[in-house]
Amino acid sequence: MSFISPDAGTDRVFDNADSFAMVFDRTWKQLRASNSGEVGQEQHLEAVFEAMADHPFLISSPDMARQVAAFRIRLLELT
């Protein structure tokens, strides 16, 4: 599965944290809605990363991408 673009009208993504965060937020919410909270947060996070596996920032900076994801989860109170 490929990542979900932040804007359905474009497939422009960039190798930076901002682009990653926009795609992460949308992917998190879309996958969470389809799972109806059936999986735990860590399992859901791994599913999001799998869905975003071809995002340039996740490829080039996987550790930083995980930090950005953890920050987004805390900041937006994503559960």
Predicted pLDDT at 75:
92
Predicted pLDDT at 77:
87
Tokens of 29: 């919410």
- The whole-chain average pLDDT of the chain stands at 87
Flag whether the pTM goes above 0.85.
Answer: no
Closest CA to 4 of 33, 20, 26: 26
Q: Where are the alpha helices (DSSP H) in the chain?
A: 17-35, 41-51, 56-60, 62-75
Please give the average per-residue pLDDT across 53-64, as a whole number: 97
55, 35 Cβ separation under 8 angstroms: no
Predicted pLDDT at 25:
95
- Residue 9 or 59, more confident: 59
Please give the average per-residue pLDDT across 45-72, as a whole number: 97
